[in-house]
Amino acid sequence: MRCRYSVVAACILASFTTVAEESIERLEVQGDFRRLSVQNIAGSIAVVSEQDMERNSAQHLDDVLRQLANVNFAAGASRARFVQVRGIGERSEFIDVINPSVGVLIDGIDYSGLGISSIAHAEQLEVFRGPEATRFGTNAMAGMLNLSSKQPGFQREGALSASLANYNSWQLSGMLSDALSEQLAYSLTLDKQASDGFIENTHLGRKDTNDIDELTARTRLLFRQSDASQWQLIGHFIEQNNGYDAFSLDKNRTTLSDEPGQDRLRSKALALRNDYSGFVGADLMWQLSWLSADSDYSFDEDWAFVGIRPGWEYSAFDRYQRTREQWTLDYRLVSDEQGRLVDATDWVLGFYVSGRDLTLQRDRRSGSRLRAFDNRLQRDNLAAYGETSTPISAQTTLVVGGRIERYQDEYRDSGGISIDQSHTMWGGKISLNFQASDQAMIYTLLSRGYKVGGVNGEALSRAGDDGLEALLQQATFKPETLVNAEFGVKGVAADGSLVTRVAVFHMWRDDMQVKGWLNPDLGPEFAGFIDNAGRGRNYGLEMENRIVLHPSFTLHLNAGLLKSKLGPYITQSELDMTGRDQAHAPRFTYQLAGDWFLTDQLTLQASVQGKSSFYYSDGHNAKSESSELVNLRLSYQLEHWQFALWLRNAFDQDYGVRGFFFGNDPRDEYAPHTYQQWGEPRRIGLSASYQF
């Protein structure tokens, strides 16, 4: 079929002709207002099933995110906790309280800034790309991660899994779902992971200073009160006792720290949810949640030992202890068939309220000098939102949504600084969806997202230091807004041999928040702050394809192209970053994967995950190298058992997941270098699972 450029979309749609009902892909998005197929929702959404996670023997969120187009992450701790979507997202949190551009929900509970601790036996992970203010508010300016644990079932279902791998690593997990009565059912997931980590501390003669020790428990209790009402009680518990000793003066996986740090987290969460369909015209859903978390994050700031070079060396240790108490209430009405407005318009109307209390105790020792700093931020959010979906023809639907949100902050710190802030923000979307058939849709989308401003606690705490007086001008930073224009095509081929999703986008950022650094002599003493850099642009495309080339072979191709630009921005060190690529925004990301069913029991899966180089910061020009990671998995399936031998990063490639540019080595008189935290090296493991 020959197609002119102006009708490419029509030609794509023409290839997806009417098919039998059973061939339609059934991946449903659980995080939207209504449960719909990912093929029928406007927007670039990736749905990662448990089977997709198994393809790369994924054990943590890091392993999953590498599969996705235009998605990146930053470490700077024992695990990746900060995610970037389409080149937008934070990379760390020290003193300053940040509002993530990419939020995290687990079973509807807000874990933004804490990350996802375990993906074992998850129902699915959804990655929303682009602003989702109407649905999620301020935590979704660039996107949202939504993880769902196993839903309770009234038929017994369970699984036990165990893995052994190099670096003295092991994992043991289990899931059980069953009925307690005709009305009551539960699901329970437990996961324990441990590893020595991938660092050798040659000064201490240890290989476990960057170790992993994590326990995660998630449970759901479902009560079917009646045909019209059901309740869910959700509980989470996380205990993380990881080490943190990742940066090397020698720029490799050997460290010289005499005081290795730690990355500890202990959190508890509860949520009560009710779904009620007894009203005429609308269904009611509300969820009340509570979360309490304590974290302890510390590191050897000099990355060395006393005596490494007398006369030049310094010795410092930094520790951040945080507490977080939060509650949220999300309450909404969703129309049913009887409640539709004129022209069969479906609608959603809701409100959201939350309160968050965040405290920090920072203790820093430099030589014999001790410095203590603490602050407290109380934040209240109140929002109202709505959405309508109106058919304007048999195949075309207009969706209009919006959200208005007000936040109020009260900031207090030990330096006597007291700042109260409040701001009203709005976001929304308009999409025009053309449903060519049950298997093909084309959409155009215009959306607006936002995130709150805040207080630069680190700038305020360090403004009295010699050479850092300029930080007095960085007490606060403004909210950021983003506008996204998007065009997309989604389709399933007639015989089910091809599933494709393609999106082209252009985003405009206003008052974009960037991380700045003040470090006059590029030595070890420096201070960070959040700054506003005028405007920025991010544009590109992403696609996801599944192609059945043969009944025994399936190919998966995900790819993203991204171009990002900083607006007018000159750093405190007088570097002109105007027009440069934004931080952690690789121009090219991809995964090419294949599933080869050798026999009814034996399957070989292979993937290549690639990423181009990217800048580590908006405040300096240090860059990562490009990476191409090869993963292999050979599995053998019996009726209830599965055994798998797997390799991740088979060719042992070094690749950076966090980077800085400054001087920290007394052996070369603190000359500036690019220092990187390395990602996972070659991993080889054996897994066994039993399902019943």
For 59-95, write each residue's pLDDT tens digit. 888 889 999 999 999 988 888 889 999 999 998 888 8
| CB distance 19 to 28 below 8 Å | no
pLDDT of residue 524: 59
Mean pLDDT score across all residues of the chain:
91
Residue 514: pLDDT band with limits 50, 70, 90: confident
Residue 465: pLDDT band with limits 50, 70, 90: low
- How many CB atoms sit inside 10 A of residue 12's CB? 18
Mean pLDDT lowest among 10-14, 227-231, 523-527, 627-631: 10-14
Closest to 194 (Cα-Cα) out of 217, 172, 174, 175: 172
DSSP string computed for 54-76:
HHTT--SHHHHHTTSTTEEEE-S
Residue 5: pLDDT band with limits 50, 70, 90: very low
Kindly report, residue by residue over 655-671, the tens digit of the pLDDT: 999 999 989 999 999 99
pLDDT of residue 1: 41
Average pLDDT over residues 608-635: 95
pLDDT of residue 467: 56
Average pLDDT over residues 208-229: 97
pLDDT of residue 284: 96
Question: Is residue 49 predicted with pLDDT exceeding 50?
Answer: yes
| CB distance 59 to 50 below 8 Å | no
pLDDT-above-70 percentage for the chain: 93
Name the residue with higher pLDDT: 459 or 173: 173
Please tell me the distance from the alpha carbon of residue 178 to that of residue 217, in angstroms, as a whole number: 17
pLDDT of residue 489: 97
Bridge partner list, 386: 349, 402
pLDDT of residue 471: 64
Residue ranges per structural domain of the chain? 5-691
Please tell me the distance from the alpha carbon of residue 58 to that of residue 79, in angstroms, as a whole number: 14
pLDDT of residue 44: 96
Please tell me the distance from the alpha carbon of residue 444 to that of residue 517, in angstroms, as a whole number: 39
Please tell me the distance from the alpha carbon of residue 108 to that of residue 83, in angstroms, as a whole number: 18
C-alpha count within 13 angstroms, C-beta hemisphere, residue 17? 3
Residue 260: pLDDT band with limits 50, 70, 90: very high
Residue 645: pLDDT band with limits 50, 70, 90: very high
Kindly report, residue by residue over 558-600, the tens digit of the pLDDT: 999 999 999 888 877 788 889 999 999 999 999 999 999 999 9
Closest to 283 (Cα-Cα) out of 291, 293, 273, 292: 273
Question: Is residue 464 predicted with pLDDT exceeding 70?
Answer: no
Question: Is residue 17 predicted with pLDDT exceeding 70?
Answer: no
Residue type, 344: A
pLDDT of residue 2: 42
CATH 2.40.170.20 fits 5-691, yes or no: yes
- How many CB atoms sit inside 10 A of residue 17's CB? 14
